[in-house]
Structure 1
Amino acid sequence: MLSAQEKEFMQWWEQNRSREKRLLSQLTIGLPLGLAFGFPILLAVMFRGWYKNMPYVSGSQLTIILIAVLLVIVFYAIFKMRFKWEMNEQRYLELKQKLETEATLEEK
């Protein structure tokens, strides 16, 4: 027997699964978390005066570091949201299988 929370999840996932899978939706939801992950790195590199032993970073190196950190932010955001989508999809399929199994047992 499915709990009320599991039934709510199944209804919600049936309505939102295609919207959650789109790349733009994953970016808009995951980007703030990716920024929270990459922003401290950017601050440490851009404001390097607080750490005296840090080697000098020229302007061209700063540009490359900035691009690399932005790529890490975008990758982290997309990867995290795709992983979350896969976990929700797996949970949905397991609950659906459980519901079908219960229905066949009730018929017997």
Structure 2
Amino acid sequence: MDSKTIYTKEEEQFIKYWEQNRLKKKKLLKAMLWGLPSGLILFVAILLNFFSGWYKRASMVANADPSLLVILLIAGIIIVAFTVIFSSSHKWDRNEAYYQELINRKINL
């Protein structure tokens, strides 16, 4: 069997793309750009919830302790960093697993 009957057109394109870019995508700095928007959206949602004032008791506690804003910003940075690193490595792992599955399909035939 030739590769035309084993793979669909999309699978062949993915194999070519991943062979060329898999080491580039594993680098941390470029991979961070994948997860940055989701981490920032999560942090902005937390900030909006915190400053919306819908829960009066939480607003009173926040106004009583000025260091709470610093703690919230530090926690936000940690949340964004975790989201960025986790989502980028997860995306790379998914693509790598799919690539290995396609290569093994060709080997097993």
Which TM-score tier does this pair reach, normalised by the shorter chain? 0.7 to 0.9
Q: Does 1:2 align with 2:3?
A: no
Q: Secondary structure at the match of 1:56?
A: helix
Aligned with residue 97 of structure 2, among 90, 95, 98: 90
1:37 is the counterpart of 2:42? yes
- Matching residue of 1:99: 106
Task: Note the 1:1-108 alignment, pairs <5 A.
Answer: 1-45=6-50, 47-54=51-58, 55-57=60-62, 58-102=65-109
Structure 2: runs of 5 or more not aligned: 1-5
- Report the Cα distance in structure 2 between the residues aligned to 1:70 and 1:79, rounded to whole angstroms: 14
Poorly superposed stretches of 4+, deviation over 4 Å: none
User: Could you list the runs of 5+ residues in structure 1 that have no partner in the other structure?
Assistant: 103-108
Query: What code does the residue aligned with 2:89 have?
Result: R
Mapped partners of 1:49, 1:88: distance in 2: 42
> What TM-score, normalized to structure 2?
0.83
RMSD of the TM alignment (CA)? 1.5
Aligned length: 101
Tell me the TM-score normalized by structure 1: 0.83
